[in-house]
Amino acid sequence: MPAPTPVVHTVGTGPGPDGVAVTPNGKTIYAANNSTNTVSVIDARTDTDTVTIGSSPHGVGIQPSQGSVG
């Protein structure tokens, strides 16, 4: 069994993250926070911004060809 990869950095999200997606260029991370009806939009280099959305997000996906997140 291969050795586990060490954790090099952690990033906080809102409570109850239920799905994560990363843009193809690795610059932005999205986490659907089911407990607070928010999506954490994380700049992989610097910052976290939380956006309130509908209710109980259960996942997030990226559509690179259309430049959208859903």
> Residue 42 and residue 11: Cα distance in Å, rounded?
8
- The whole-number pLDDT of residue 5 equals 86
Q: Please report which confidence band the pLDDT of residue 63 belongs to, taking 50, 70 and 90 as the band edges.
A: confident
**What pTM was estimated for this model as a whole?**
0.71
- The whole-number pLDDT of residue 54 equals 67
> Residue 46 and residue 23: Cα distance in Å, rounded?
15
- The whole-number pLDDT of residue 43 equals 84
Q: What's the pLDDT tens digit per position in 4-62?
A: 888 877 777 777 888 888 888 888 888 888 888 888 888 888 876 767 676 777 777 77
